[in-house]
């Protein structure tokens, strides 16, 4: 109706009236519309405008005082069309208001009716999260007009949004309501009925005589049927992804050597309500094989080197897909390809084109045509998005430097280092669409690299209460993971503390009153001198435990266990065997004070022990990120040593407790020593190994495998094992509080410490104590992410686990393990750290195993 009225208005000056005349002049002179005549514009008025100024509208027409116009004419019609095209008006017309006495000048009037403005846009029928995202996509703001164009595009955006989620039957009803408060305004509500989610039930592959259905199904990354092997995949139908997946299915034929394979037709239909069936009909064609492969244009690398990377021999199946991966990349991260070979030597402008030279029967000759170009030098290294973190923190992580030759491996490593830093969103920096840019300039053989980082909250505030060890524990702590001592004296930087240098400062206090109190403080500088990756770590702690048992109202501090400790360490990144290796050296001091500590945790109940040790640790971490690694590995080997005090002794005690001299440490009889005398200076050597490998299976589905081993040894069999620093195996790896003196090892599906052996000791009133001196543990986890966002990371997992603990290395048997299986979920929140819950079932211990729930805060299993 609006369009019809617009047409009628536009024709007022070009159609002949029924009488052939219109008397509109102020002097009563008539205008003859049957004979077009030229006039001079004497003035232009506007009628009906509210939101737009009169001059704005006149400017849209292009009419100016003094210009010549012909009435009627196509020119006047085009002026009306020009104003109408702005979509701000419901009706537009131009009429002759009056003529002068000489009938050569005309006053024109532009008559418009503006579209009503929208005072409020709303969406109904969907959850609030969808409303927020849709409003961001629509970009609608109060005060704009509601035209047919706005209505159509808005409905289309909403429908596409829900089609991507699998709601292909989504309906949108734009509802226009007159605003009763604001004059000439309306309210627009998009009433959405997204309907039921439409999923794919069956995909039928027809004509695939030599390529298995499973291979074709796996090639379609986003279009999945309801088969058991697609259990972890979404079954929703996405029209855009479906187009790509059809091409991927054809490539699966190409990969099997069927060069001429094509999709003849496809059909989509409903097999039942909200369930789709898809038929894909293929023509395989003939199977082909490689015959002769030749290279031209290669001067940097000989043909033999290129053939070794290509790994294609005469007579191999004509697999174009694998050939392209070995030429251009796109396979596994560890795979090498010809393009990467050249790019790692600076040849960024390298190009290669495989050309089929001859096809005879089922054999294909291929010529690899290479254009090597010149090596590219790094020019500008740009870092964007670091609003909080200092730029030097990012620059010292990257391996690319201005003036260096471009190397693809260095660039990929730089992305990985930024993702692992912990200050930025790892998903964003690893996204090729927005995380980074390579900007080459072939005119001067240079390249600019742009790293687009996205800051994420990294500091953590912990105010919590938890249940562990049959008691309630309150925790207050803060961890600033981007601390800056350099800005310590800058008053403006205290918001609330100076940040930006990726240092770590942590303070933590735990207590439940009389039973348990712990205070820890630590500081870590990842680049001590600013130029080399030498890290400095300092930590101090104090722990006090008593025999109070709040659960039954028993308050008693006559039984006390206290620990004082300090640790200082230096870490250096190595260049050999590769620069993923880090060597740590640390010195630590601990003092254990036991007063009537009779709960069998340690070998004695009264006395003071000192522990001075040196630790050497070699780590190699090549995972792609910290929170949810998809690929890479993490290996660690450490050796902790104390001085061999017992080997330096030449004295002993007799049965009366008198000190006597002996010839050698071999003559010392510790049977006559009290616990305070024997364990005043503890001694041991402690060996630990841990290795984890992350393998990306399909999409974001990740397989994690881990093996661990620990051994606490002694220098002198007569002195025996150390009463401290042993292993306590079983349970969730936490008891609600931090403790020192033993290392807690989680093994899900079993009660806490239940797999730790007990041994006789003469210094305990109970007659026995924990004696975990050797352990092993093996874990297989299947992980799948639910949310991967800077604000939170959530993933679910299923696990198989096994391990055990022994009191003596002579009894160690790596195959004598306690097995378990279960499922769990992990939630990482920047303010709280890692939280999780697991359910495990222990198969091999009827007393301490079977069904167990485990909770964790801040540690991985």
CA gap 591, 609 in Å, rounded = 6
Residue with the bigger pLDDT between 239 and 537: it is 537
Cβ count near 649 (within 10 Å): 16
What are the tens digits of pLDDT across the range 138-165?
A: 988 888 888 888 889 999 999 999 988 8
Is the pLDDT assigned to residue 472 strictly greater than 70?
no
Give the model confidence (pLDDT) of 230-251 as tens digits.
Answer: 887 888 898 889 999 999 999 9
The confidence score (pLDDT) of residue 12 equals 42
Query: Is residue 343 scored above 50 in pLDDT?
Result: yes
Cα end-to-end span (Å), the chain: 69
> CA-CA distance, 453 to 470, in Å (whole number)?
45
Burial of 805 (0-12, 13-18, 19+ CB in 10 A): buried
- Nearest Cα to Cα of residue 327 among 376, 293, 359: 293
Half-sphere exposure (Cβ direction) of 116: Cα atoms closer than 13 Å: 15
Mean pLDDT computed over 105-109: 86
pLDDT band at 766 (very low <50, low <70, confident <90, very high): confident
Quick one: tokens of 673? 């020593």
Neighbour tally for 684: CB within 10 Å: 22
- Torsion angles phi and psi, residue 124, rounded to 5: -130, 160
**Tokens matching residue 281:** 């009909």
Sheet holding 117-124, edge to edge: 117-124, 185-193, 171-178
DSSP string of 544-611, one letter each residue: EEES-BGGGTB---SSEEEEEEEEEEEEEE--SS-TTEEEEEEEEEEEEEEES--SSSSS-SSEEEEE
Residue 60, pLDDT > 50, answer yes
How far apart are alpha carbons 203 and 193 in whole angstroms? Answer: 28
C-beta separation of 796 from 783 below 8 A: yes
Q: Residue 362: pLDDT band by 50, 70, 90 thresholds?
A: very high
- Which of 567, 464, 584 lies closest to 523 in space, CA to CA? 567
Quote the radius of gyration of the chain (alpha carbons, Å): 39
Hunting for tokens 């690398």 — which residue is that? 301
> In DSSP terms, which residues pair with 539 in a beta bridge?
522, 567
Please choose, from the candidates 128, 77, 103, the residue with its C-alpha nearest in 3D space to the C-alpha of residue 22: 103
Q: Give me 44's structure tokens.
A: 């232009």
**What is the pLDDT at residue 19?**
31
Whole-Å CA distances, 508 to 219, 355, 538, 557, 740: 50, 65, 15, 23, 15
At residue 521, the pLDDT reads 96
Q: Which two tokens stand for residue 217?
A: 């199904």
**Angle CA 601–769–738, to nearest 5:** 15
For residue 80, the model assigns a pLDDT of 82
Confidence of residue 333 (pLDDT cuts 50, 70, 90): low
What is the Cα 525 distance to its own chain's centre? 25
Containing 94, the helix (H) or strand (E) segment is: strand 89-99
> Mean pLDDT throughout 308-320?
95
> Quick check: helix, strand or coil at residue 70?
strand
Mean pLDDT of 369-383: 96
Is 324 strand, coil or helix?
helix
Highest mean pLDDT among 290-294, 542-546, 603-607 belongs to 290-294
Higher per-residue pLDDT: 557 or 30: 557
Q: What is the pTM of this model?
A: 0.70
- Is the pLDDT score of 266 beyond 60? yes
320-328 and 239-255 helices, crossing angle to 10°: 100
Percentage with pLDDT > 90 across the chain: 56
Q: Where are the alpha helices (DSSP H) in 211-310?
A: 213-219, 239-255, 303-310
Distances (CA, A) of 824 to 731, 827, 835, 854, 855: 14, 10, 11, 9, 10
pLDDT, averaged across the chain: 87
Which pLDDT band holds residue 549 (cuts at 50, 70, 90)? low
Pairing verdict, β 446-452 and 460-468: unpaired
Determine the pLDDT at residue 230: 84
Among 539, 567, 518, which residue's Cα sits nearest to residue 736? 518
CB within 8 Å of 492: residues ≥ 6 apart: none
Query: How much is the pLDDT for 31?
Result: 58
Helix H or strand E encompassing 10: helix 2-10
| Statement: residue 88 has pLDDT above 80 | no
On the question of pLDDT at 203 being above 70, the answer is yes
From the list 85, 111, 108, 109, the residue with the least C-alpha distance to 3 is 85
308: which DSSP letter? H
CA distances from 697 to 323, 435, 700, 783 (A): 22, 23, 7, 10
Joined tokens for residue 654: 């007799």
**Strands 89-99 vs 818-829: parallel, antiparallel or unpaired:** unpaired
pLDDT of residue 442: 92
Cβ atoms of residues 773 and 714 within 8 Å = no
Pairs from 575-581 (Cβ < 8 Å, separation ≥ 24)? 580/620, 580/621, 580/622, 581/618, 581/619, 581/620
pLDDT value, residue 20: 32
* Residue labelled with tokens 């939280």: 835
∠ CA 725-731-733, nearest 5°, is: 50
Please state the rounded mean pLDDT for residues 719-747. 81
Q: What is the mean pLDDT of residues 735-745?
A: 69
Distance CA 262, CA 246 (A): 10
CB atoms near residue 72 (< 10 Å): 20
Locate 247 and state its tokens. Answer: 């091409």
Highest mean pLDDT among 107-111, 474-478, 617-621: 617-621
Most confident of 231-245, 291-305, 529-543, 724-738: 291-305
Report in angstroms the alpha-carbon separations of 567 from 202, 485, 588, 611, 722: 61, 20, 4, 11, 20
Q: How far is CA 815 from CA 363, 776, 818, in A?
A: 53, 10, 9
Distance separating alpha carbons of residues 205 and 214, to the nearest angstrom: 10
How many Å separate Cα 483 from the centre of its chain?
23
Q: How far apart are CA 324 and CA 302, in angstroms?
A: 19
Band (pLDDT 50/70/90 cuts) for residue 27 is very low
């Amino acid at each position: 109706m609006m369009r019809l009225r617009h047409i009628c208005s536009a024709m007022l000056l070009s159609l002949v009236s029924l009488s052939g005349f219109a008397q509109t002049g102020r002097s009563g002179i008539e205008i003859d519309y049957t004979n077009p005549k030229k006039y001079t514009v004497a003035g232009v008025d506007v009628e009906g405008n509210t939101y737009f100024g009169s001059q704005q509208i006149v400017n849209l027409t292009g009419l100016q005082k003094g210009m010549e116009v012909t009435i009627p004419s196509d020119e006047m019609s085009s002026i009306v069309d020009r104003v109408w095209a702005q979509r701000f008006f419901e009706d537009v017309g131009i009429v002759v208001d009056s003529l002068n006495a000489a009938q050569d000048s005309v006053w024109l009037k532009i008559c418009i009716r503006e579209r009503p403005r929208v005072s409020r846009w709303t969406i109904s029928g969907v959850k609030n999260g969808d409303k927020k995202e849709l409003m961001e996509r629509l970009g609608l703001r109060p005060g704009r007009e509601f035209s047919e164009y706005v209505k159509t595009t808005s409905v289309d955006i909403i429908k596409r949004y829900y089609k991507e989620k699998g709601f292909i039957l989504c309906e949108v009803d734009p509802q226009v309501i007159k605003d009763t408060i604001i004059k000439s305004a309306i309210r627009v509500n998009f009433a959405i009925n997204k309907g039921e989610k439409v999923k794919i039930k069956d995909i039928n592959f027809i004509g695939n005589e030599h390529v298995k259905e499973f291979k074709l199904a796996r090639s379609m990354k986003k279009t999945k049927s309801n088969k058991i092997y697609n259990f972890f995949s979404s079954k929703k139908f996405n029209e855009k992804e479906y187009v790509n997946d059809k091409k991927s299915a054809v490539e699966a034929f190409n990969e099997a050597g069927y060069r001429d394979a094509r999709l003849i037709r496809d059909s989509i239909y409903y097999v039942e309500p909200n369930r789709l069936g898809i038929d894909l009909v293929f023509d395989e064609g003939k199977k082909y094989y490689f015959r002769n492969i030749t290279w031209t244009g290669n001067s940097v690398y000989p043909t033999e080197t290129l053939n070794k990377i290509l790994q294609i021999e005469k007579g191999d199946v004509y697999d174009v897909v694998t050939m392209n991966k070995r030429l251009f990349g796109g396979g596994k991260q560890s795979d090498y390809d010809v393009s990467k070979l050249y790019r790692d030597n600076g040849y960024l402008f390298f190009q290669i084109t495989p050309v089929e030279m001859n096809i005879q029967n089922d054999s294909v000759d291929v010529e690899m045509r290479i254009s090597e170009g010149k090596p590219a030098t790094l020019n500008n290294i740009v870092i964007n998005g670091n609003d909080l973190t200092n730029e030097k923190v990012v620059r010292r992580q990257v391996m690319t430097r201005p003036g260096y030759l471009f190397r693809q491996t260095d660039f990929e490593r730089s992305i990985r280092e930024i993702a692992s830093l912990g200050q930025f969103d790892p998903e964003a920096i690893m996204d090729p669409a927005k995380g980074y840019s390579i900007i080459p300039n072939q005119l001067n053989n240079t390249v600019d690299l742009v790293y687009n980082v996205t800051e994420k909250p990294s500091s953590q505030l912990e105010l919590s209460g938890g249940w562990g060890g049959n008691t309630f524990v309150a925790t207050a702590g803060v961890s600033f993971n981007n601390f800056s001592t350099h800005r310590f004296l800058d008053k403006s930087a205290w918001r609330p503390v100076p940040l930006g240098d990726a240092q770590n400062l942590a303070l933590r206090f735990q207590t439940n009153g009389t039973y348990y109190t712990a205070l820890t403080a630590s500081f870590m500088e990842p680049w001590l001198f600013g130029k080399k990756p030498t890290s400095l770590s300092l930590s101090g702690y104090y722990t006090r435990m008593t025999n109070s048992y709040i659960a039954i109202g028993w308050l008693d501090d006559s039984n006390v266990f206290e620990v004082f400790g300090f640790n200082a360490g230096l870490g250096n990144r190595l260049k050999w065997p590769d620069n993923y290796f880090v060597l740590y050296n640390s010195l630590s001091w601990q003092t254990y004070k036991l007063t009537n500590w009779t709960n069998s945790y340690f070998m004695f109940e009264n006395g003071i022990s000192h522990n001075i040790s040196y630790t050497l640790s070699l780590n190699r971490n090549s995972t792609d990120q910290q929170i949810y690694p998809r690929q890479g590995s993490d290996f660690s080997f450490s050796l902790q040593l104390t001085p061999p005090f017992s080997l330096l002794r030449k004295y002993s005690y007799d049965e009366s407790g008198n000190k006597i001299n002996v010839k050698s440490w071999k003559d010392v009889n510790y049977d006559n020593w009290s616990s305070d005398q024997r364990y005043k200076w503890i001694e041991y050597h402690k060996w630990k190994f841990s290795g984890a490998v992350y393998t990306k299976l399909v999409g974001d589905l990740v397989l994690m495998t881990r093996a661990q081993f620990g051994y606490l040894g002694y220098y002198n069999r007569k002195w025996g094992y150390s009463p401290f620093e042993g292993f306590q195996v079983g349970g969730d790896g936490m008891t609600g509080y931090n403790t020192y003196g033993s290392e807690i090892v989680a093994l899900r599906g079993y009660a806490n410490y239940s797999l730790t052996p007990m041994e006789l000791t003469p210094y305990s009133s109970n007659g026995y104590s924990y004696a975990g001196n050797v352990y092993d543990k093996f874990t297989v986890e299947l992980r799948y992410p639910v949310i991967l966002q800077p604000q939170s990371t959530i993933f679910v997992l299923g696990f198989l686990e096994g391990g055990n603990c022994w009191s003596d290395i002579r009894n160690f048997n790596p195959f004598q393990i306690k097995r378990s299986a279960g499922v769990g979920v992990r939630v990482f929140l920047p303010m709280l750290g890692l939280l999780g819950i697991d359910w495990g079932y222990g198969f091999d211990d009827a007393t301490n195993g079977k069904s167990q729930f485990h909770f964790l805060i801040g540690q991985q299993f």
